[in-house]
Amino acid sequence: MLTRTACVRAALWRSLATVALIGLVGALLCGPAAAAQAPKKSKPPAAAKPGPAAKPGAKPPVKVPEPEPEEAAGKEDNYTHLPSDESLKKSRIEVTKALRAGKYEGDQKTTLQSYYVKYALPIWTQQDSYNLLPRLRNDLRTELRAGAAGEPHADAVGLVLKFMTQAAGAAAKCHPAVRCNAMLMIGELNEQESSSPTARPTPLPEAVPAMLAALTDANQIDAVRVAALVGLTRHARLGMASDDEQHRQKLVAALVPALVQLVGTKTPPADRSADGHDWMRCQALEILGVLGVAGANGQVAKAIHAVAADKKEAMFVRMFAARALGYLNYTGVSGLDASAMGEAIAQLAMDACGRELPATPGEEVVISRRHLRAALHAAWLGLNGVDEQLKGLRGLAEGTAHKAHVDELGNVIKTLNEAFDKKGADKKEIGDKELAEELRKGVTALALMLKATAPEPAADAGKKPAPAAPSADETGKPAAEAAKPAAGETKPAPETAKPAADDTKPAAAEPKPAAGTAKPAADPGTTPAPGGAKPAPGDK
């Protein structure tokens, strides 16, 4: 049994434990409230960091005023805004059904016309839609391309073409963004949609006149003209891949005159920059290459060759011209001088290298490899074509006396391109100095070829050239004798080795000719100059 003292002690401990428990619970319950009511000690304000000392006479910073509510919302502009009936938005479901079915059911034809004329197309002109135009164009394109061949698709495409043609014109007074996107939409319209992801659609033929009219309209803004060129490029690529020969001929007949005119117009209009004008000409050159026709008596090829041969043209324009020459079909074409055209492309390659190579061999240099390689590749395409059907100028020279000369030019251009294909050239493991020496060899070989002595063109271009024989110059001396440099005189380097007027670096200098020879001797290790004289233009 517990004694009286033990019971008292137990009771005392229980009392102490109860008091401790009550105190702990009170602290938990009252602590947060007390902490919230307790005043917080304020920290002393932090010392401001010293800012940069103001310059003597400096103006105080100008505070940009916040826009007024009316300006923030945007004022209505002065362009045309057609009303759009939002209640017709739900009609898209019925319109999509009719397009996919390829036929109408019930009053779907009326629904389709109302949907496009009163809602889907007018919304393009709304000021709130300016930033949404690419998305609206994508939605409309997706909607139409989901349709099967039939009356609903034909009706919808016709309504879109009519509206977009009017919106892109100056008379409608729509915003430039609306006009540009309208012309882009015209170029994307199809007469027949692709039946599978790999099948090609058939572009809408009626869209070509609308795009050509915009391209040739002197009063049209450049944004719409550029959009027309984009659409014409698509039509050319898909149209020339078609099996319909009649359609291809119509496309060529419609596009070539306007494109050749644009390519030949070197001076930009007053309201267009020179770079912008050259870009548009490059687009026209690309389309001519896609069409692939040399023209009657080679008129298209001659127009392109004139651009490639002109040193006053920008280098990238000449590159587009060289590429286009490689895509032309020269079968049955007469009146073209393959040697002269090949030399123009070779000169382009020399000029491109002249912009990059140092004036003195062995000098340190930084070569813009991407730009130079693009120029040399364009020259290669012009001379050798893209395949065995489109052989470029090599195909034009086949079966004629020009073949050997064009082939040799092509071989040197190939060597220049191969300098970039060597192991490590793309990763710059081969330094610019070593690459420059490789390129200089090819440039020297081209300079020797282009400066090689050639007989004067025969009076009758249809006859074969006479055997190479030394002819007399105006003084009566034989050509070999007249070619000798006078004592103590150094024969100047050929003009073809000089850079174009806009080049920043001179091309590689040609080695001095050996005394007593009619033609300069080729450097060891480089491609030799042509063994025979170049043929006269038109020789077969």
117-172 tens-digit pLDDT? 999 999 999 999 999 999 999 999 999 998 888 999 999 999 999 999 999 999 99
Lowest-pLDDT range of 157-171, 391-405, 513-527: 513-527
Angstrom distance (rounded) from CA 293 to CA 289: 8
Q: How far is CA 174 from CA 118, 179, 222, 312, 342, in A?
A: 17, 6, 15, 39, 48
Q: Which whole number is the average pLDDT over 237-255?
A: 93
Rounded Cα–Cα distance for residues 163 and 182 (Å): 8
Question: What pLDDT is attached to residue 25?
Answer: 43
The closest alpha carbon to 342, from 289, 441, 292, 413, belongs to 413
What's the half-sphere exposure (Cβ side, CA atoms, 13 Å) at 55? Answer: 4
Going by pLDDT thresholds of 50, 70 and 90, the confidence category of residue 314 is very high
Q: Which two tokens stand for residue 313?
A: 């043209």
Residue 273's SS3 state is: coil
Q: Among 108-122, 223-237, 316-330, 415-429, which stretch is predicted with the lowest mean pLDDT?
A: 415-429
CB 225 within 8 A of CB 182: no
Confidence of residue 397 (pLDDT cuts 50, 70, 90): very high
pLDDT value at position 196?
84
The DSSP bridge partners found for residue 343 are none
Judged against a pLDDT cut of 70, whether residue 501 lies above it is answered with: no
Q: Compare 498 and 174 and report the one with higher pLDDT.
A: 174
pLDDT computed for residue 16 by the predictor: 56
Residues in contact with 5: Cβ distance below 8 Å, sequence separation at least 6, in sequence order: none
What's CA 109's distance to the chain center, in Å?
Answer: 42
Average pLDDT over residues 274-279: 95
Q: Which residue has the higher pLDDT, 300 or 358?
A: 300
Please determine, for residue 511, whether its predicted confidence score (pLDDT) is greater than 60: no
- Residues 51-90 have pLDDT tens digits of 444 444 444 444 444 444 443 445 778 999 999 999 999 9
The DSSP output letter for 530 is P
Q: Check pLDDT > 70 for residue 349.
A: yes
Which token pair is 152? 């609903």
CB 127 within 8 A of CB 76: yes
The tokens 């004067």 sit on which residue? Answer: 456
Give residue 366's pLDDT. Answer: 86
Identify the DSSP state of 503: -
Among 42-46, 208-212, 357-361, 459-463, the range with the most confident prediction by mean pLDDT is 208-212
Could you tell me what percent of the chain has a pLDDT over 90?
55
Tell me the average pLDDT across 396-401. Answer: 92
Mean pLDDT of the chain: 78
The first and second tokens of residue 335, run together, are: 């009146």
- For the cut 80, the answer to whether the pLDDT of residue 278 exceeds it is yes
pLDDT in tens, 283-295: 999 999 999 999 9
Q: In 3D, which of 314, 375, 387 has the Cα closest to residue 346?
A: 375
Rounded to 5, what percent of the chain is helix, strand, coil?
A: 55, 0, 40
The DSSP secondary-structure symbol of 272 reads S
| CA–CA distance, 200 with 186 (Å, rounded to integer) | 18
pLDDT-derived band at 463, boundaries 50, 70, 90: very low
Lowest mean pLDDT among 40-54, 241-255, 390-404: 40-54
Between CA 183 and CA 172 the distance in angstroms is 13
pLDDT at residue number 289: 97
Q: Are 156 and 92 in contact (CB under 8 A)?
A: no
**3-class SS of residue 451:** coil
> Which pLDDT does position 148 carry in this prediction?
86
Q: How many CB atoms lie within 10 A of CB 256?
A: 19
Q: What does the pLDDT read at residue 420?
A: 82
Residue 535 has pLDDT above 60, yes or no: no
Given a cut of 70, is residue 506 above it in pLDDT?
Answer: no
Mean pLDDT of the 199-218 span? 95
Q: What are phi and psi of 147, to 5 degrees?
A: -85, 145
With cut-offs at 50, 70 and 90, classify the pLDDT of residue 362. Answer: confident
- Tokens encoding 104: 């109408």
What is the per-residue pLDDT for 59? 45
